[in-house]
Amino acid sequence: MRKWVLLTAAIVMEVAATLSLRASQDHPAWLGVVIVGYVGAFVLLALVLREGMAVGVAYGIWGASGTALTAVLAAVLFRDALTWAIAAGIALIIAGVLFVELGSRSHATDSTS
């Protein structure tokens, strides 16, 4: 359970840092949030790996969730485009991560047999 909480926190920090990077284009003061957010995200991701989550699964979920959340929130906050093609791309990324997760679970089951 702890690894999922850490991974969620890493995703939130990465999304906050990325959105702050966009906000810093108009207000440079946001760069502090960018630095703290990215450093925090990577520290938390390292802790997730230390908890035993496979790197492909952790990075895949982190990257896909971050991409999806950033795209949606950037559309809301900054009026960035969120077209059907972008939504389809996000869906494909999420599907890919699900396949990685399912593959890692079947590998873990095979290894214990």
Tokens, residue 68: 């999806």
pTM of the model: 0.85
Contact present, 33 and 20 (Cβ < 8 Å) = yes
> What range defines the domain where residue 18 resides?
2-112
- pLDDT for 51 equals 97
Q: Where are the alpha helices (DSSP H) in 24-83?
A: 31-50, 55-78
- pLDDT for 103 equals 84
Encode the chain (113 residues) as per-residue pLDDT tens digits: 999 999 999 999 999 999 999 999 999 999 999 999 999 999 999 999 999 999 988 998 999 999 999 999 999 999 999 999 999 999 998 888 888 888 877 766 666 55
Total structural domains within the chain: 1
Residue whose token pair is 């009026």 = 79
